[in-house]
Amino acid sequence: MNDLLSTIPSLQAYLLVAAMLFCIGVWGLINSRNAVRVLMSIELMLNGVNINLMAFSSYVDGDLIRGQVFAVFVITVAAAEAAVGLAILLSLYRNRVTVDMEQFNLLRW
């Protein structure tokens, strides 16, 4: 038990946390009815991916740390995505006067 515990902050442990974060994000993305919460779930998923990248860069690619560079790019794209997503949400709210995802069916048949 002690040996097992001493190896816990390992690559696998980080990957498991990232997998849980990603799956919670997917569930929230599917089930949220508030559009802002959908954007929050997307941020959760991006964070799960980032934890994966950072864990691999630290444990497998320790001398080149390319994963950290990719994580910086992911953070950049996430910032752009959040800005555009919230702008779309604002103009949608202005036209629909609701944030309910079920009401946003303009492009659905």
Partner 1 sequence: MTIATSTELICFLVLSVVVVAGALGVVLLSNIVYSAFLLGGVFMAVAGLYLLLNASFVAAAQVMIYVGAINVLILFAIMLVNKREDLKAIANLTTRRIVSGGVCLGLLALLVRVVVTTPWSLPGPAAVGEEATARIGEHLFTDYLLPFELASVLLLMAMIGAIVLARRDVLAADVVTGEAADQGLIEKARTPLLLERRSS
| Span 30-49, contacts to partner 1 by CB under 8 A | 30-37, 39-41, 43-44, 47
- Nearest approach in angstroms of CB 107 to partner 1 is 12
Q: Please say whether the beta carbons of 85 and 69 come within 8 A.
A: no
H helices of the chain, where? 2-6, 11-31, 35-59, 66-96
107 part of the interface to partner 1, by CB under 8 A: no
Q: Please give the DSSP secondary-structure letter assigned to residue 63.
A: T
- Nearest approach in angstroms of CB 74 to partner 1 is 10
Q: Please say whether the beta carbons of 25 and 44 come within 8 A.
A: yes
For residue 25, count other CB atoms closer than 10 A to its CB. 20
- Nearest approach in angstroms of CB 100 to partner 1 is 5
68 part of the interface to partner 1, by CB under 8 A: yes
Q: Please say whether the beta carbons of 87 and 39 come within 8 A.
A: no
- Nearest approach in angstroms of CB 47 to partner 1 is 5
Q: How many residues bind partner 1 (CB under 8 A)?
A: 83
15 part of the interface to partner 1, by CB under 8 A: yes
